[in-house]
């Protein structure tokens, strides 16, 4: 049990001991939520505001605080003070240091892991790229938020299923085949990959402006794909292969992988039963020839299920996908990590699932995130305001390499470290803010080694590793925890102690940035501690305690970075 939880349950017990008759007193969980870390150490290590109790006890908060101080006794707390309606706790710093370090060091890479997810399944739909389009920074957030959430849920003991819901269906593929047959070649596609597919698509639209009949040809090719025509199908699946081959390079760099690539086309033969249910439940109405689910009661536009020509839509495939996922994986939660622009799409989708009578509709969550722009400009492929992820990652690595060449030219495996740092900078810049916030990507910010950045946290981790390498050469005695009672060490210990809560909170709020924030705070607290205190001190027992704190810090930073998909080099 971490210290805050313990103080909360002791406070709850103290409350019922002091006022055994009182009704409506908060329990340990609620108290836990009310406990705060005061802004300065004179006010204690933790503070509990008594205001919430005033009504139940019909007493003024300062009086309540005074009465609680009387009843509070425990060896972990050196002193409790009542100040202006607050209960201020001063920890027994020696005990706190010893316990926190034991908890962190005993857990190793599993610190903060739990079995709260045992027997439960979370499906995560993320990245979900579109075939024959290049992977640009607009798809970075979905990829990294999804990847991080997957690791977080794994850490908490859930079974996770990561799904890349490929955009691989629609008339555009007919147009692309048409363009390929007219102006393309197998060699060009093999060599240029997605770039060539994009070129063909653009070419198709240019030509179709002059010769509108092309549109019909494109549609005819798509019809062939739908009808299972062998040639059409084989070109279409080859386009998929080419796209996935190009994308695999980016996924490899980012360390991202998927359990399933079941995309939109996968649901071709799975929509019929869903449409049957909609019919049986009388949910379908015809509007201008199209079959729709009316959502006017929910103040939403109708959800279109079939177009007037009978063709399925994005919604139809998503309905089939949700049902398939529930039937196949029996998920307890299905997360869709998709930009907030698709907010309406998902609200409609979930509402239709609810109307179909699926109780699990409430377990579907749209994990929305903000827009990304590039150095102040909106991403726009046509205007050339677009940054391809592969180029971005390449440049990031080059920049990191240049900095390493300058600052630590003697470092072994420079290219490898440059890869870890370059990618880490980009990923950190993407995951450091609340996900719903719009992001303006800037090279300046992403590759700054100081301040709140990926390289800064990685650098602190490497610094810990370096201290530990030096310490290894010494044979240190049992640690003396009295060496960790200063404010800097205690501030760091508090952050380490609450890290498991941060992981849980990040899962509950689908918010990897909480972990990015926590590792940054830990790095800053460690550096403060490092500058204020000599770690490898002449007093060997004190040195031993500081080394243990360093080791705990390294472990937590490494685990935290792992959970947000960033590597932690040991030297840089
Ligand atoms: N391919 C879509 C896009 O790039 C995202 C798909 C998200 N997942 C889903 N099940 N709709 O916008």
The string of pLDDT tens digits covering residues 116-133 is: 999 999 999 999 999 999
Q: Output the pLDDT for position 366.
A: 98
What average pLDDT does the segment 156-185 reach?
A: 96
User: What is the band of 446 on the pLDDT scale with cuts at 50, 70, 90?
Assistant: low
Is pLDDT of 373 > 90?
no
Q: How far is the CA of 165 from the centre of ligand 1 (A)?
A: 6
Q: How far is the CA of 336 from the centre of ligand 1 (A)?
A: 8
What average pLDDT does the segment 519-540 reach?
A: 95
Q: How many CA atoms lie within 13 A of 240 on its CB side?
A: 20
Q: What is the pLDDT of residues 71-90, one digit of tens each?
A: 888 888 999 999 999 999 99
| Residue 139 Cα: closest atom of ligand 1 | 4
Burial of 177: CB neighbours in 10 Å, binned 0-12, 13-18, 19+: buried
Q: Output the pLDDT for position 388.
A: 87
Q: How far is the CA of 352 from the centre of ligand 1 (A)?
A: 18
Q: Output the pLDDT for position 146.
A: 98
Q: Output the pLDDT for position 379.
A: 73
User: Is 561 in contact with 458 (CB distance < 8 Å)?
Assistant: yes
332-336, 358-362, 420-424, 535-539: least confident range: 535-539
What average pLDDT does the segment 272-284 reach?
A: 97
User: 165, 271, 336: which to mutate for ligand 1, most atoms within 8 A of CB?
Assistant: 165
Integer CA distances (angstroms), 524 to 520, 529, 555, in order: 6, 9, 15
What is the maximal distance between C-alpha atoms in the chain? 89
| Residue 318 Cα: closest atom of ligand 1 | 10
Query: What whole-number percentage of the chain has pLDDT above 90?
Result: 86
Q: Output the pLDDT for position 537.
A: 86
**136, 155, 175, 315: which is the annotated catalytic residue?**
136
Q: What is the pLDDT of residues 469-526, one digit of tens each?
A: 999 999 899 999 999 999 999 999 999 999 999 999 999 999 999 999 999 999 999 9
136 included as an active-site residue: yes
Q: How far is the CA of 44 from the centre of ligand 1 (A)?
A: 49
**139, 224, 355, 366: which is the annotated catalytic residue?**
139
Assigned token pair, 512: 């990897």
- Identify the three-state secondary structure at position 298: helix
User: 342, 352, 366: which to mutate for ligand 1, most atoms within 8 A of CB?
Assistant: 342
Of all protein residues, whose CA lies closest to atom 11 belonging to ligand 1? Answer: 318
Assigned token pair, 30: 């609620």
| Residue 167 Cα: closest atom of ligand 1 | 1
Is pLDDT of 10 > 90?
yes
Q: Output the pLDDT for position 138.
A: 84
Q: Helices in 184-305 by DSSP H: which ranges?
A: 186-192, 194-210, 213-227, 230-254, 272-280
Is pLDDT of 381 > 70?
no
Is pLDDT of 112 > 90?
yes
| Residue 339 Cα: closest atom of ligand 1 | 12
What average pLDDT does the segment 317-337 reach?
A: 98
**Which of residues 111 and 372 earns the better pLDDT score?**
111
Q: Helices in 108-185 by DSSP H: which ranges?
A: 140-155, 171-183
Q: Output the pLDDT for position 378.
A: 77
**63, 74, 120, 133: which is the annotated catalytic residue?**
133
Residue written as token pair 């610094």: 463
User: 123, 128, 173, 270: which to mutate for ligand 1, most atoms within 8 A of CB?
Assistant: 128
Mean pLDDT, rounded, of the chain: 94
133 included as an active-site residue: yes
| Residue 321 Cα: closest atom of ligand 1 | 10
Q: How far is the CA of 106 from the centre of ligand 1 (A)?
A: 42
Is pLDDT of 450 > 90?
no
Of all protein residues, whose CA lies closest to atom 6 belonging to ligand 1? Answer: 128
Q: How far is the CA of 126 from the centre of ligand 1 (A)?
A: 8
User: Is 347 in contact with 364 (CB distance < 8 Å)?
Assistant: no
The helix, strand and coil proportions of the chain, stated in percent and rounded to the nearest 5, come to: 60, 10, 30
User: 140, 338, 352, 379: which to mutate for ligand 1, most atoms within 8 A of CB?
Assistant: 338
* Distance of alpha carbon 196 from alpha carbon 184, whole angstroms: 8
Residues with CB under 6 A from ligand 1: 125, 128, 130, 165, 167, 318, 321, 336, 338
Q: How far is the CA of 446 from the centre of ligand 1 (A)?
A: 27
Integer CA distances (angstroms), 475 to 84, 248, 484, 540, in order: 49, 47, 20, 9
Q: Output the pLDDT for position 385.
A: 66
Q: How far is the CA of 318 from the centre of ligand 1 (A)?
A: 9
User: Is 408 in contact with 550 (CB distance < 8 Å)?
Assistant: no
Q: How far is the CA of 167 from the centre of ligand 1 (A)?
A: 7
- Which of 340, 507, 369 lies closest to 430 in space, CA to CA? 369
| Residue 349 Cα: closest atom of ligand 1 | 11
Of all protein residues, whose CA lies closest to atom 4 belonging to ligand 1? Answer: 129
Assigned token pair, 38: 């005061």
Is pLDDT of 559 > 90?
yes
| Residue 264 Cα: closest atom of ligand 1 | 10
Q: What is the pLDDT of residues 309-324, one digit of tens each?
A: 888 999 999 999 999 9
Of all protein residues, whose CA lies closest to atom 5 belonging to ligand 1? Answer: 128
Q: Output the pLDDT for position 231.
A: 97
Q: Output the pLDDT for position 75.
A: 85
């Amino acid at each position: 049990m971490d210290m805050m939880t313990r103080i909360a349950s002791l406070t709850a017990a103290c409350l019922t001991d002091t006022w055994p008759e009182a009704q409506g007193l908060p329990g340990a969980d609620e108290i836990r939520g009310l406990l705060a870390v005061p802004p300065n150490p004179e006010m204690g290590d933790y503070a509990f505001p008594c205001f919430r109790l005033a009504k139940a006890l019909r007493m003024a908060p300062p009086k309540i605080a005074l009465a609680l101080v009387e009843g509070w006794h425990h060896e972990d707390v050196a002193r409790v003070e009542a100040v202006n309606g607050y209960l201020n706790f001063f920890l027994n710093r020696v005990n706190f240091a010893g316990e926190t370090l034991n908890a962190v060091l005993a857990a190793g890479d599993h610190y903060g892991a739990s079995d709260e997810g045992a027997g439960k399944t979370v499906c995560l739909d993320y990245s979900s790229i579109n075939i024959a389009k290049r992977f640009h920074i607009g798809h970075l957030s979905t990829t990294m938020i999804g990847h991080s959430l997957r690791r977080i849920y794994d850490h908490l003991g859930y079974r996770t299923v990561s799904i890349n819901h490929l955009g691989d269906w629609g008339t555009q593929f007919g147009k692309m085949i048409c363009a390929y047959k007219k102006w393309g070649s197998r060699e060009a596609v093999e060599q240029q990959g997605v770039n060539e597919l994009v070129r063909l698509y653009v070419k198709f639209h240019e030509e179709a402006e002059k010769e509108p009949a092309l549109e019909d040809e494109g549609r005819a090719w798509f019809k062939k794909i739908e009808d299972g025509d062998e040639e059409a199908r084989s070109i279409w699946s080859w386009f998929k292969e080419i796209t996935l081959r190009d994308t695999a390079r980016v996924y490899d760099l980012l360390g991202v992988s998927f359990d399933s690539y079941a995309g939109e086309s996968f649901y071709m033969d799975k929509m019929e039963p869903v449409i049957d249910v909609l019919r049986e439940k009388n949910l379908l109405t015809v509007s201008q020839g199209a079959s729709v689910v009316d959502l006017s009661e929910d103040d939403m536009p109708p959800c279109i299920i079939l177009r007037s020509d009978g063709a399925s839509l994005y919604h139809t495939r998503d309905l089939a996908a949700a049902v398939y996922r529930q039937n196949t994986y029996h998920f307890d939660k299905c997360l869709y990590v998709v930009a907030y622009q698709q907010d309406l799409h998902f609200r409609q989708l979930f509402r239709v699932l609810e109307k179909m009578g699926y109780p699990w509709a409430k377990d579907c969550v749209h994990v929305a995130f903000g827009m990304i722009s590039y150095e102040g400009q909106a991403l726009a492929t046509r205007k050339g305001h677009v940054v391809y992820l592969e180029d971005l990652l390449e440049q990031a690595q080059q920049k990191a390499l240049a900095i390493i060449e300058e600052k630590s030219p003697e470092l072994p495996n420079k290219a490898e470290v440059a890869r870890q740092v370059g990618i880490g900078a980009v990923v950190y810049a993407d995951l450091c803010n609340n996900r719903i916030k719009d992001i303006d990507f800037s090279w300046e910010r992403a590759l700054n080694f100081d301040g709140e950045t990926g390289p800064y946290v990685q650098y602190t981790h490497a610094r810990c590793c370096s201290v530990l390498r030096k310490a290894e050469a010494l044979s240190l005695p049992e640690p003396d925890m009295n060496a960790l009672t200063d404010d800097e060490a205690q501030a760091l210990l508090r952050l380490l102690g609450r890290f498991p809560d941060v992981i849980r909170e990040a899962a509950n709020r689908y918010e990897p940035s909480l972990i990015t924030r926590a590792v940054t705070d830990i790095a800053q607290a460690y550096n403060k501690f490092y500058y204020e205190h000599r770690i490898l001190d002449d007093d060997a027992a004190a040195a031993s305690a500081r080394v243990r704190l360093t080791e705990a810090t390294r472990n937590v930073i490494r685990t935290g970075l792992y959970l947000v998909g960033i590597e932690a080099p040991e030297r840089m």
